[in-house]
Each structure stands twice: as C-alpha cells, then as structure tokens.
Structure 1
Amino acid sequence: MNVYTKIVPDEFDVPLLVYGNGFILQPLSPKYANIDYEAVMESRPILKDIFSDDWPDDIKSWEDNLRYIEEDYSDFQQRIGFSYIILDPSESRCLGCVYIFPSLFEGYDVAIYYWLHINILNSALAYEIETFIRKWVQEHWCIPHPAYPGRDIPWPEWLQRERKTFAGTIANSTDVSK
C-alpha cells in the first residue's frame, strides 16, 4: 500500500500525450513493457550512476520490469506519482523515462528523476530532452518547487537527507503492538 497522497489537485489536467522536438512523452504503461525492458537492459551500465539505488540491478527478468511498470502505472492513475516513457516519433523505441514522485523533504514538492538511453547520451537529442523536461515541468505542472536528485542535488546530499528523514520517522514512531 502506498502512503503518499496526490501530488496534484484533482482539477489539474495531467498530460497524457506530450510532443517534443524528436520525441514523445506518454504515461509508462504495460503496453510499453517490451521496449522499456530493452532500453533498461541496454542502458544498465549508466543507470546505476543516475539513480544510486538497487534499480535496475534488481530487475532480473522482463517480468520484474513489468511489475515496476504496473506499480508506476497504478501510481499514475491514483495521481500519487507520474512515470512517462520517452519515445521516438514512431513510438517504437524507448529513449528513456521521466519520473515525478512526491518528495520526502521540506522545500521540495516533488522529486523528478529521468534517464536517457545510453545510445543518445551526449547528443543534441539528449540535450533537447533534458531542456524540455525542465521547461515542461516549470510551465505545465502546478509544481512550484521540484527537486532533481542526482542532477541539481548531488546524490550523496540527497541520500543523506533521505537517511535522516527515515531515521527521524522511525525514532518518532510509536509501537502500537504493546
């Protein structure tokens, strides 16, 4: 069970199809499981540096990846997290993904993570996508204070905040089993 609340109000029109210059964003759903899995596996060497956690090391199979996609799609439908696949214009190739998740930290409304396929890194298209994501969030989402962990905020700093937050949560919780 997810304990997060909605990160956008009910009246906010969540984008379902977004066209960029040379790419398309759509909600990451099970229908994209094949091309997403292929892109994750091909880009695995660089993803660990971007996300600094167990993902994608814990993806051992197509089915494991599908479970992640199903969870993300459920979060999208509940408006508690938004995962988008970045597609080429023919919608046959995954160029990466964008994730908009609640932030646990004061001062940030959401944490925005994204990765790009290893084959487009350091390209004009990669620059176009990265620039587009920030502008799109700023102009089209009702999110005044986004965080970009691993990009604007170094991973060690973000992870240290995370550890402090979880340690404080555990220390302040009460044992109701007594």
Structure 2
Amino acid sequence: MPFTDLQIDIPQGLSTDEFVLRPITTGDAEMDYEAVMESRDYLRKWEQSTWPEDDFTVAANLKDLQELERRHSAQQAFTYTVVDPPGTRCLGCVYFMAPNAGMFTKSEITPVRSEQWEDYEAMVYFWVRKSHLASGTDRALLDSLRPWIDLEWKFQRRLFITNEQFTQQVDMIERAGLQLRFTIKEPDNPGTYLAYE
C-alpha cells in the first residue's frame, strides 16, 4: 500500500535527551554532507553503491535533499534527519519507504518463514554517523524508533532493513532482539538486504 493511501497524520519528529528527529530539508545540506562524508566507507556498503563518491559535493547533496524533501511533502517516502539536541550537528538519517516502492518491486524478496511482504506497511532504514557508533547512538536510535513508530505512526507492522555487508548494524539489530523476516536481493547488487521485525 502506498503511503498516500494511509489515513495517518505524519509525525513532525521525536526528541530525546540524546538526539532530535525532524523532517530533513534543504537547509540541512551542509550539516548532512559532513555526516555523510565522514561515514562514506560504510554507507557504500549500506547503499550497495559508490555513493557517496570521494568527489561528492555539498551542491550534489543539496540536490539529493531537494528530492527527499519533495517526496516527504508528497507523502511518497519520509526522511528524517537525526541531529544533536542543539541542532548543530547531524548524527544520521531515518528513512521510511512503502512496501511497493520501486526498489522493492524490482527485487527478489524471500520470506524466512511464513510472513507475507504485503502484510507490512512500512520499511525503515537508518544510519548513524561513524564517529557515534562506538558510543551506541545507533542502538539508542533504534530503541527510540520502535515505540515512536508504534505509538505515533500506528503502523500495524513495520520492518527495519539493513545490508548484510554492514555487519555492525546487523549485529546491533539482532542484539536488540529483532527477528529476520525477509531477505531482499536487488538486481546487480552483490550484497543482500535483511529485513527484521
């Protein structure tokens, strides 16, 4: 089901003692760029692409954020930036995708047990900048996202997705007690995505 068919009020964000989530905007281009470039080695595994290239620029990132902001406004997909409480440093991003997004319709999706892909309403991806992994910010973000999604988004079922090559995130998700439900193989990508509930 596309997000435009859901009768929900889109949450404006989430605040904790450690971070704030809010919809990403073009005004975040420089702050987001800094976090992306710091984390580029593992983001390439997570994305299964060469993005961000070594010569990636703030201007190119601004174009990306323009599209993310457009899709958020159109309720096609939702992107939230994760910033420190003062709002001066980007710590990562959270993305909500619909189960019928193009990236999924072109992929080979295999259930691990008897679940049906169509029973899920949202696919959630997130990353935390490299310098904040050792302090456990990624686990704190996941632990905050789970109740926020359940209480404010009111999705009946959602999946958290990562790539098998991003072993640090895979291990963290599994330590949090989430269970593998699907494997996702995109055409022409060497790694397999893993979807957890």
- CA gap of 1:112–1:61, structure 2 versus 1, over 3 A, is same
Q: Does 1:52 align with 2:64?
A: no
Q: CA deviation at 1:124?
A: 3.6
* Matched position secondary structure for 1:158: strand
Q: How many pairs were matched up? A: 156
Q: CA deviation at 1:153?
A: 4.9
Choose the corresponding residue for 2:70, options 68, 71, 74: 74
* Matched position secondary structure for 2:51: coil
| Equivalent residue number for residue 129 of structure 2 | 117
Choose the corresponding residue for 1:91, options 62, 87, 102: 87
CA distance in 2, matches of 1:127, 1:40: 19
CA distance in 1, matches of 2:152, 2:97: 16
**Higher Rg:** 1
| Equivalent residue number for residue 174 of structure 1 | none
Q: Does 1:158 align with 2:169?
A: no
CA distance in 1, matches of 2:96, 2:76: 9
| Equivalent residue number for residue 65 of structure 1 | 61
Q: CA deviation at 1:148?
A: 1.6
| Equivalent residue number for residue 100 of structure 1 | 96
Choose the corresponding residue for 2:144, options 105, 113, 132: 132
CA distance in 2, matches of 1:153, 1:45: 25
With normalisation by structure 1, the TM-score equals 0.76
| Equivalent residue number for residue 142 of structure 1 | 154
Q: CA deviation at 1:52?
A: 2.3
| Equivalent residue number for residue 176 of structure 2 | none
CA distance in 1, matches of 2:54, 2:98: 22
State the identity %.
28
Structure 1 runs of 4+ with >4 Å offset? 151-155
Q: Matches of residues 4-19 of structure 1 in structure 2 within 5 Å?
A: 5-7=2-4, 9=6, 11-19=7-15
* Matched position secondary structure for 2:81: strand
Output the aligned Cα RMSD: 2.5
Q: Does 1:22 align with 2:48?
A: no
Q: Which structure shows the higher strand fraction?
A: 2
1:113-148 C-alpha deviation (Å, 9 max, x unpaired): 100010110324332112111221122213222122
Structure 1: which 5+ runs fail to align? 164-178
CA contact (8 A) 1:21 1:128 kept: no
Q: CA deviation at 1:40?
A: 0.2
Q: Which structure shows the higher helix fraction?
A: 1
CA distance in 1, matches of 2:43, 2:8: 31
- CA gap of 1:8–1:83, structure 2 versus 1, over 3 A, is farther
